[in-house]
Structure 1
Amino acid sequence: MRLIKRIFVILIVIVLALVGVSYLLPGKAEVSRSITIDAPAAAIFPYVNSMQETEKWSPWLSRDPETKLSYTGPDAGVGNTLSWSSENPQVGTGTQEIIESNPDQSVRTALDFGPMGTAVASFQLQSEGSGTQVTWGFVSELGMNPMSRWMGLMMDKWVGADYERGLENLKALVEGQG
């Protein structure tokens, strides 16, 4: 009985330590990737300023071709909204709405993954020689949930490769148009 009591106390101490340490972890998760595309920003902007156009280069849609997509609002710019639903947990269910659009410069979107939380994604377009550097970023506020804060440490590993693949797809698409 004494051994069980000791094991129980040790487990409680470990759980409390993990919870306590979680509040020392970052309160937000950030992911960012960049690529240089051999094209002017004006040639790239339409592909990041429309949820319909992102279908052409999205790194996630190839994971589940059965993903159900629906669009509302204008075809591009602020208010353009994508809703998706997939049984594949790597695709999931959610919405993404363009909340800010600066022609040939930047786009910000609000993401809502339902119970999985919310985030803001962005695209920054910056001239670089004869091309354009495209930076795709993601920020999610993790709140005070200890589990979310521990998961936030993994966000770059989970999302970074997808961002790289998406940017490569975008580069191939845009450069193939020229």
Structure 2
Amino acid sequence: MRFIKRIFITLLVLILVLVGVSYLLPGKAELSRSITINAPASAIFPYVNSMQETEKWSPWLTRDPETQLSYSGPEAGVGNTLNWASEHPQVGTGSQEIVESVPDQTVKTALDFGPMGSASASFDLTPEGEQTQVTWGFESDLGMNPMSRWMGLMMDKWVGGDYERGLTNLKALVEGQG
């Protein structure tokens, strides 16, 4: 009986330590990836300023070709919204809406993953001579949920590779147009 009690107390202490440490972890998950594309910002901007155009280079749609997509709002710019639904756990269900758009410079979006939370993403286009550096960023407030904070530590590992693949796809698409 003492042995079981010790195991129970040890597990309880371990859980309390993990919860306590979680509040020392960052309250936001942030990541970004960049790529240089051999094209002016004006050639890249249409592909990041329209959810319909992101279909052409998205790193996630190849994971589940059966993903159901629907769009609302204008064809591009602020208010352009994508809703997606997939049974694939790495695609899931959610929506993304463009909330800010500055031609040939930046696009900001609001992401809603339903019960999984919300986040924001951005595309920043920085001219570099004849080329443009494209930076794709992501930020999510993790709140006070201890599990979310621990998961936030893994966000770069989980999503970073997808961002790199997406930017590589975007580069190939834009440079192939020229």
Cα distance between partner residues in 2 of 1:131 and 1:88: 36
- 1:176 maps to which residue? 176
Cα distance between partner residues in 2 of 1:67 and 1:7: 46
- 1:59 maps to which residue? 59
Q: What runs of 5+ residues in structure 2 fail to find an aligned partner? A: none
SS in 1 for 2:109: strand
- 2:71 maps to which residue? 71
- 1:39 maps to which residue? 39
Cα distance between partner residues in 1 of 2:24 and 2:78: 36
1:113 aligns with 2:110: no
Cα distance between partner residues in 2 of 1:162 and 1:122: 15
The amino acid that maps onto 1:91 is V
| Cα deviation, residue 69, structure 1 | 0.1
The alignment yields a C-alpha RMSD, in angstroms, of 0.3
SS in 1 for 2:15: helix
Q: TM-score, normalised by structure 1?
A: 1.00
Cα distance between partner residues in 2 of 1:136 and 1:26: 21
| Alignment deviations for residues 50-74 of structure 1 (CA, whole Å, 9 cap, x no partner) | 0000000000000000000000000
- 1:148 maps to which residue? 148
Q: What runs of 5+ residues in structure 1 fail to find an aligned partner? A: none
Aligned length: 178
The amino acid that maps onto 2:51 is M
Structure 1 segments (4+ residues) deviating >2 Å: none
- 1:99 maps to which residue? 99
Cα distance between partner residues in 1 of 2:20 and 2:172: 46
